[in-house]
Structure 1
């Protein structure tokens, strides 16, 4: 494996007497898709929120390309090359597809003050190039409020790519999508990751998506890492089977 883009060591976070994340270690390399899975309350969302600065760890380290990002606010982390998509899409519904991407580009180029002028001509070609990558160029002039949910997910991915990320955090990327749309989105994410050398960490409740697209899988249960390996290794792991099989939790909605 190539050098880690993201390196997490001993990551821990408690809320009161509950250890939401307890001494978690993992790394993600350039071009790799790593799935983070586990039942409700496993600590996945808490882990994600520490990685992009929404929560500060109680202990442990998080390094991006060898640089510690612990304690940095989300915007600083974003500027260092960390993109994120969310379980519920967050686009400006009254703006066009292109304008949504342009807003992200304005922020990336530190031109957000230009939004008070007509921003429609700024970074238009760059926005269209990103939309081309996610197969949304032909819908660039449509208002986001009328798009199908799967198309909104593609727009959100284009927005996440606007800062040329080295690491992409995808929180439940296929939630709410039809089965065919799930496959298409993850194939797109995998292709972009490998073409551009982006490290991708994603959470996902659909195990078919995880086992079909992840290069490696890590499993959290009650805040602790209980398994790590290839999809086949994790699927066959006795501890994973003991934790999930029989309760149906492995196919439950991730948190």
Structure 2
């Protein structure tokens, strides 16, 4: 019998209230080691608010967040990052004046705590290591290109490489395919799924593209008006009456094709 694996992330009764309005209301869930889990819901459902509490950008009104057995509720984002939680954002935040590899080198310099001592020769540091991360996301051939001329899909790949530089055990990805062409969306999430499988990283991501979600997520959670209304595999979520009502007013949710 396989040993029981404790969740890498445990969220209990997470709540965020603004002057009586419950943006997130009593949300509880787990993310298992090596799991690729989606958090979906209509606009305004509370997904980004939930993410911001997990990463420390927002303080919960009540509830707890536990990462790898340690309570992280109330810690600052940098403290949570140091513990092994990474994040990508809906809008990319790379340094446009730098090259692709320089962006990754800067992330490595921060990871190695040398940010205040290397300014004159930063371009020399961690170049080989940076190339390894670029190879992971298929960007090594563009290492010396300026970020300002990259296609948006390549910027998203670069952001993923940057997020991996401190070798997180959990990666939070907020709308990772937003603004990308349909084919590029599938490619990015396939890349993410490969990283989950090969490196054992756990990923929690929000997403509006249902093809992306059902093609790649191991489990899917649905948030609506701040409340979690479903949490299960693709078949269970697709058949859930509340989810059907939220998305299509009671119609058939998503196509029935197998997205293995």
Task: Identify whether the pair has TM-score above 0.5, normalized to the shorter chain.
Answer: yes
**Superposition map of 1:90-109 within 5 A:** 90-109=93-112
Structure 2 match to 1:234? 237
Structure 2 match to 1:117? 120
**Superposition map of 1:104-183 within 5 A:** 104-183=107-186
Q: CA deviation at 1:228?
A: 0.7
Aligned residue pair count: 250
Distance in 2 separating the partners of 1:115 and 1:29: 38
Is 2:14 the partner of 1:11?
Answer: yes
Contact 2:223 2:230 in 1 (8 A): yes
Instruction: Give the secondary structure class of the aligned counterpart of 1:117.
Output: helix
**Superposition map of 1:171-250 within 5 A:** 171-246=174-249
Structure 2 match to 1:54? 57
Contact 1:7 1:63 in 2 (8 A): yes
TM-score for the superposition, normalised by structure 1: 0.95
Q: CA deviation at 1:246?
A: 3.2
Identify unmatched segments of 5+ residues in structure 2. Answer: 255-260
Contact 1:9 1:23 in 2 (8 A): yes
Identify unmatched segments of 5+ residues in structure 1. Answer: none
Distance in 2 separating the partners of 1:63 and 1:229: 21
With a CA cutoff of 8 Å and minimum separation of 6, indicate the structure with the bigger relative contact order. Answer: 1
Contact 1:31 1:195 in 2 (8 A): no
Is 2:69 the partner of 1:66?
Answer: yes
TM-score for the superposition, normalised by structure 2: 0.93
Q: CA RMSD in A?
A: 1.4
Q: CA deviation at 1:76?
A: 0.7
